[in-house]
Amino acid sequence: MITTALFFSIALEIIGYLLWIKFTKDGSAKKRDIVSAFMFILAIIILYQIFKLNLDFGLILLVATFFAAFSWLLGKYIDLEELRKESKSYFFILLAITCIRSFAYEPYQIPSRSMVPGLQVGDFVLVNKYAYGIKFPGTHFLLSGLVQPKRNDVAVFIAPHTLCDYDPLTARPDISTLPVAEGQLFLNKFEDLQNSRCTPLGVKFVKRIIGIPGDKVEIKGYEIWINGEKLKQKLLISDSNENLLEETIDEGVHVIRTLGLSDYEQHSWTVPEGSYLAIGDNRDNSLDSRAWGYFSENYLIGRADYIWMHWESFSELPSFSRNSKIK
């Protein structure tokens, strides 16, 4: 339904664009202004539909930049100075935004509590888009070589269970090495998640990387072993509501949250080439690799580097008190 509405809205926007050109050439200022207002309202509706469909905004910006360039050239060709001037200004603005967002930093809002206490709902983070290699906007095509993520990185990626056509055997290619009951349990859980959460383009997740290709990772409750070494955990706060622990992965130190449930089944992985294992810091409230397995390097978006603003809802004012580098 939304897809049909989007195509219909875009068609109306194109008709409005052609009418704007006609009325501008004819000198019908009043009609042109009415069409301009109509196109502005329609543009807001189109943006809303794009966000509802979870379409890649980087690709949308790229298309808009090419359209502005086309309009600039069209204005020159049909000798319409107003179209040429407006399109030229839009082109350079869109080009700058597209380049910064696609190749440098992309803003992202934290939507859930899975990375509490480090990342809170409503935190706006800057995602480093060149940390793992530069990709062509809206695609998985690398313009530079892949830079392998490090353990303890807080990565942004598309989770496999949110892609409707993702094969669960790709998310857990070592399933044949598992006991039959455990393997079937994983397949059932993955397919249930996929049926309830998938979209054509997937959903971005933010988690901490704990396993890179070749790593042997074991999880027993809240304890994690990587290549035979147990991660150091130091209790900071313990009360009836939660436990906060300082955890060290390689040289990186961060804080995790537990509720004392410790009812997770044991997990054991040997991470295959081209795949990564990720987990949330809020260990009892995170949907992560424990449920859906590995995620592919093809779906890496970038590394979350900084919190630059906190704005949980429109009923509150934005806050900059949480501005900090992400640990």
Give the helix/strand (H/E) hosting 94: helix 81-103
* Structure confidence by residue, pLDDT tens digits, 259-297: 876 555 677 889 999 999 999 999 999 999 999 999 999
Residue with the larger pLDDT of the pair 177 and 45: 45
pLDDT classification of 145: cutoffs 50, 70, 90: confident
Which residue has tokens 């664009």?
17
* Structure confidence by residue, pLDDT tens digits, 201-245: 788 999 999 999 999 999 988 899 999 999 999 999 998 888 999
Q: 17 pLDDT exceeds 70? A: yes
Which residue has tokens 């690799």?
289
Number of Cβ atoms within 10 Å of the Cβ of 174: 16
- Structural domains of the chain in order of their starting residue, each with its CATH number: 2-103 (no CATH), 105-325 (2.10.109.10)
Stretch 29-43: mean pLDDT, rounded? 91
Q: What share of the chain is helix, strand, coil (3-state, %, to 5)?
A: 40, 25, 35
Tell me the whole-structure pTM to 2 decimals: 0.84
Q: 126 pLDDT exceeds 70? A: yes
Residue with the larger pLDDT of the pair 234 and 3: 234
Q: What is the mean pLDDT of the chain?
A: 90
Q: 82 pLDDT exceeds 60? A: yes
Give the helix/strand (H/E) hosting 193: helix 180-197
pLDDT at 265: 63
Stretch 10-33: mean pLDDT, rounded? 90
Euclidean distance between CA atoms 118 and 124, whole angstroms: 12
278 closest CA partner among 225, 205, 173, 229: 205
Q: 102 pLDDT exceeds 90? A: no
Helix (H, G, I), strand (E, B) or coil at 223: strand
Instruction: Give the best-scoring range by mean pLDDT among 139-153, 193-207, 271-285, 309-323.
Output: 271-285
Stretch 7-20: mean pLDDT, rounded? 91
Stretch 165-180: mean pLDDT, rounded? 86
Helix (H, G, I), strand (E, B) or coil at 297: helix
Angle 171-135-211 (CA atoms, 0-180°, nearest 5)? Answer: 35
Q: 140 pLDDT exceeds 70? A: yes
Stretch 90-116: mean pLDDT, rounded? 92
Q: Alpha carbon of 191 to those of 179, 185, 206: distances in Å?
A: 18, 10, 21
pLDDT classification of 4: cutoffs 50, 70, 90: confident
Stretch 74-95: mean pLDDT, rounded? 92
Amino acid at the residue 302? G
Residue with the larger pLDDT of the pair 3 and 151: 151
End-to-end CA, the chain = 42
Amino acid at the residue 260? G
Q: Distance between alpha carbon 75 and the CA centroid of its chain, in Å? A: 37
pLDDT at 2: 56
pLDDT classification of 316: cutoffs 50, 70, 90: confident
